Chain A
Amino acid sequence: MSVKNDQPDMNRRKFVGTTVAAAGAVVVAPGVLLHTVAGADPETQGASAKHRWGMLIDANKCAEGCSACVDACNSEHGLTGHDRPMTDAQWIRAVKLKDNSTGHINRLVMMCQHCEHPPCVDVCPTGASFKRTDGIVLVDRHICIGCRYCMMACPYKARSFVHEDLEDQSVNAPRGKGCVEGCTMCVHRIDRGETMTACQEACRSTGHGAIVFGDMKDPDSEISQALKSQNSRQIRADLKLNTGVRYSNL
């Protein structure tokens, strides 16, 4: 009884077409909705490669005797010490550079430079040292075994090791004995959608304004404009690490 015909059955085709379209709409539509809803809240959005967070530090504006940024970092992340400068945790520090031939002294702050090609990540045997898609270099303390290879590999001496048991940590920075740590570029603030790090906030409130923080991929951001308009440099640029922290007037 079957009809021998080489013409396609148009009714069947129409039915299959509409069914597939309807099923597609049912599958895709909730996904689209979910995506747009999630996009509204910076907390649930997560890190994105659309940004690269960076800093520009003006060595001329970094004032002698001021420790506002260091203090702000310590209180923000609950960093406490034992009066042992050689081993106490230090996420940001003020350093002086003297040109011996002229006697000129530069003052600047040094911290994790959040390299695009971080040597600490290269040497980490467990994958604890990692770079987020938005360029921030972090330690995953859940995985860190405290071998300190990264501390050896870092050309900027930017990481610290926690030697003692800790208590009363800050919720901003869970940290404990046996792990390596360093500047997080106030990742807890960035994830909340804030646009200022603790050190920048402190530096501004003292009136020095030596630190500019922002998105280096956004051409209209303060940091992009500043980097475009003035000369800046990376420390140890010869290593070709493409650091996220840059310095001017150095």
Chain B
Amino acid sequence: MRSSFNSIRRFTCLLAGAAFAVTSLQATGDTAVIKGSKAASIESCVGETNDIRRNHMDYLKHQRVETVRDGIRGAKFSLIDCVECHASKDNDGNAVPVTDEGQFCEACHAYVAVSPACFQCHRTTPMQGKGSLGAVDLERMKFQSLNASSLKEWHPVIHAGSESAR
């Protein structure tokens, strides 16, 4: 009697675990990327999406000290590159600021009630023409980041989930 109860309990746990895994996979697959931005056409961000989602503020804060104080540029994490990739375009082909309502940065920060001070000083659209530092080098990005195929090798299940939701 006792053993059958135990096995039922074990089975329920397993079931709950599986359900949790499925829902978390769906959460992983949810994409906040704005349609029409450069990011929508790229397979992955400069790091694994969940990692960037959770830790981008720390990466950027660390990077800003190195850039301003020590003059180290062209690093993996850069606010210019975030804007370059995640700013969408309106119907006339003009870039929409990432801080406009419903845009990439604003939508999420409004949801979690965070007001980042970045854009009091930093540009909110990709810079065009002379003097532009922007223009993300896709080849270099592939080299630097965990790209989707390497993720597939390490986490086949998670990757299949995120791909189907895309």
* Chain A residues packing against B (C-beta within 8 Å): 41, 43-47, 75-76, 130, 132-134, 138, 140-142, 165-172, 174-177, 179, 187-188, 190-192
| Given A168-B123, A174-B121, 9 further pairs, Cβ under 8 A | A44-B74, A46-B71, A140-B69, A141-B121, A142-B68, A169-B121, A169-B122, A169-B123, A177-B120
Q: In the complex, identify which listed stretch (B4-12, B16-24, B131-139) lies at the interface while the others stay far away.
A: B131-139
Interface membership of B89, Cβ < 8 A: no
Contact B73–A179 (Cβ < 8 Å):
no
- The residue that B70 contacts in the complex, of A41, A47, A168, with Cβ under 8 A, is A47
* Chain B residues packing against A (C-beta within 8 Å): 64-66, 68-75, 80, 120-125, 127, 131-134
Hey, which chain B residues are within 8 Å of A177, CB to CB?
Answer: 120
7 CB contacts below 8 A, A to B, read: A47-B70, A132-B70, A165-B120, A168-B125, A169-B122, A174-B122, A191-B73
Hey, which chain B residues are within 8 Å of A166, CB to CB?
Answer: 121
Contact A140–B68 (Cβ < 8 Å):
yes
Q: Chain A interface mostly helix, strand, loop or mixed?
A: loop
Distance A96 CA – B134 CA, assembled complex (angstroms): 39
- The residue that B133 contacts in the complex, of A45, A133, A172, A179, with Cβ under 8 A, is A172
Contact B122–A170 (Cβ < 8 Å):
no
- The residue that B71 contacts in the complex, of A132, A141, A165, A167, with Cβ under 8 A, is A132
Please give me the 10 A-B residue pairs with the lowest Cβ-Cβ distance, nearest first.
A43-B74, A176-B121, A47-B71, A46-B72, A176-B120, A174-B121, A46-B70, A43-B73, A171-B127, A174-B122
Contact B73–A192 (Cβ < 8 Å):
yes
Within the complex, the shortest CB–CB distance from A225 to chain B, in Å, comes to: 25
Contacts A141-B121, A170-B127, A172-B131 hold; do A130 and B73 have CB atoms under 8 A apart?
Answer: no
Distance A41 CA – B71 CA, assembled complex (angstroms): 13
Within the complex, the shortest CB–CB distance from B117 to chain A, in Å, comes to: 9
Distance A41 CA – B76 CA, assembled complex (angstroms): 14
Hey, which chain A residues are within 8 Å of B70, CB to CB?
Answer: 46-47, 132-133
Distance A190 CA – B67 CA, assembled complex (angstroms): 13
- The residue that A41 contacts in the complex, of B64, B66, B74, B131, with Cβ under 8 A, is B74
Hey, which chain A residues are within 8 Å of B123, CB to CB?
Answer: 168-171, 174
Contact B69–A132 (Cβ < 8 Å):
yes
